[in-house]
Structure 1
């Protein structure tokens, strides 16, 4: 009996070690799909799939910040219902106000009515140019200074005000998914949702993640995808791009781009064709990519001097020759030929 016990103990220990090794075995998983009317791709190294956790994070974000869903927290605030903000909404509004202040209001999520009147917001199917009278009437209830954060409460100076945080919330959900992965011990991952990215660690080949920057080729069908540069990410930074070369429409024979100058209520028509920003968070990168498109190249350069945490690649059109040129700051760009 004692001999059997002596044999059984090392065998049991070997079995427990084998189970532990199998449980902790790391491998790369790839998940893709469609959420928030856009595609996502997520690659991460873990001992098991984290699909349920990722989906739960996206669902919670949607319930808070999707302005196109009438049941969400942001939609209820837009309807002036007495609701308390959750941490997600409070975080996004606070960051938007910070960027609004830095850009003197050219970036402003209270410009939602302008997005609607030009057909880029909740309301679609716009078939005519907005009139001066319409823009003037909207101006009376637009302006980031008319928002006040008091703890968990958001106070609007005018009940007609509506918010559309889409210009930074897509970057924020990328941050949230990345944080979810890290809570489960993941240190090597790339999260990409609708072109916004957070990457940490290394890819399956053991190298930093290499991501591309599109050449701004005019194409509102999103079928043309030619890369101009690639950059490497591995420190958990966020990267986001904005450009009018895809998101535009032709109304009454004129091109109308989706970047709106909230101070005038009209499409910005700036010289920057695309803005790519790398920042400590994807939410910040997302907001600043939109802001730089709105302010233009020269003002953008001035603002970047006050934002040392940002690394950028701005592709713009030379005003004399029409040739594409690039302004970069802090990014190591690898040209793709």
Structure 2
């Protein structure tokens, strides 16, 4: 999910190359942009000595990839999916697992990392993309359910070897946090990390203000050719993630199928919620809840979000007349820019 960053000198625009060396920016800020995990990243930071951190960032990305990428056959998660008996979990996987289970329990299974067989079968996952016919949902549901896996020490135990994990709805947010922690370890007090639209930030932007993030208006625009802003938020010291159904979808026999799969029913969601933006203490948490809220729909998402004093959400949906409407928790108001 792409979001846009509004600074006083320029907007951060994703660039079609692997990595760019830091550029000199106002007030000693550097900016790194590039492509990772099949999406784009934008990193803005103020190092106390103006140090180039591209090498450190690349190394941390590679380390995280070796744990969490389903497109890397040597990663921890890929080896778990292929039932490699020698695989052991690492700190990245274990942190993801704990957060995923927490969100699964809080949302009654609306978030579930065992959704991989369903996502693949509907043509949205890392497996074969067959969109010509409907999958055997009943059979696939037998392989779905976060209670069918358990982390025991440094091993993930599956009740059925055919169970597969897909952490894409939480991993980009986690990666943003990971890079943020790296920047902090190097003395950066002001930074913004965005990976595929998931944001972790602290301190101030080069203008000395909170980081300004543009949330896109959810219109059917798979190529993101004509984006419009729905609103602008100002954040610092939190994570922000947006999930939506208006860019990844396809039509079959005249029916629209969105990429958000309800792991409880096995089918793509079919309701009026188009976009869910979550602000939380970490980007990993915000990422997972944004996906869960897209499964739950507007009313249930608001009800669950209001139970957490450290989390807020901003939801965009259509009313009976097909017009865009917004609903958000009371605490989200403080983030909306004047």
Q: Does TM-score exceed 0.5, indicating one fold?
A: yes
| 1:35 matched residue in structure 2 | 36
Matches within 5 A, 1:105-254: 105-131=109-135, 134-234=136-236, 236-254=237-255
Cα distance in 1 for partners of 2:143, 2:258 equals: 23
Q: Give yes or no for contact 2:118–2:266 (8 Å, CA) kept in 1.
A: yes
| 1:63 matched residue in structure 2 | 66
**Residue 260 (1) aligns with residue 261 (2):** yes
Deviation, structure 1 residue 270: 2.2
Deviation, structure 1 residue 253: 2.9
Cα distance in 1 for partners of 2:126, 2:151 equals: 24
Deviation, structure 1 residue 335: 6.9
Deviation, structure 1 residue 300: 1.2
| 2:4 matched residue in structure 1 | none
| 1:327 matched residue in structure 2 | 327
Q: Give yes or no for contact 2:148–2:159 (8 Å, CA) kept in 1.
A: yes
Cα distance in 1 for partners of 2:101, 2:318 equals: 30
Deviation, structure 1 residue 271: 1.8
Cα distance in 2 for partners of 1:233, 1:304 equals: 18
Task: State the SS of the aligned residue for 2:29.
Answer: strand
Deviation, structure 1 residue 307: 2.1
Task: State the SS of the aligned residue for 1:154.
Answer: strand
Pick aligned residue for 2:54 from 39, 51, 75: 51
Cα distance in 2 for partners of 1:208, 1:334 equals: 11
User: TM-score, structure 1 length as denominator?
Assistant: 0.88
Cα distance in 1 for partners of 2:253, 2:129 equals: 13
| 2:95 matched residue in structure 1 | 91
Q: Deviations over 1:143-188 (max 9, x none)?
A: 1111111122211111110000000000000000000000000001
Cα distance in 2 for partners of 1:124, 1:162 equals: 14
Normalized per residue, which structure has more helix? 1
Task: State the SS of the aligned residue for 1:98.
Answer: helix
Cα distance in 1 for partners of 2:252, 2:223 equals: 16
Cα distance in 2 for partners of 1:129, 1:288 equals: 30
Cα distance in 2 for partners of 1:137, 1:328 equals: 37
Cα distance in 2 for partners of 1:195, 1:188 equals: 19
Deviation, structure 1 residue 316: 0.8
Larger radius of gyration: 1
Cα distance in 2 for partners of 1:246, 1:323 equals: 18
The total of aligned residue pairs comes to 307
> Which sections of structure 2, spanning at least 5 residues, go unmatched?
1-26
Cα distance in 2 for partners of 1:150, 1:143 equals: 17
> 1:242/1:34 Cα in 2 relative to 1: closer, same or farther (>3 Å)?
same
User: TM-score, structure 2 length as denominator?
Assistant: 0.88
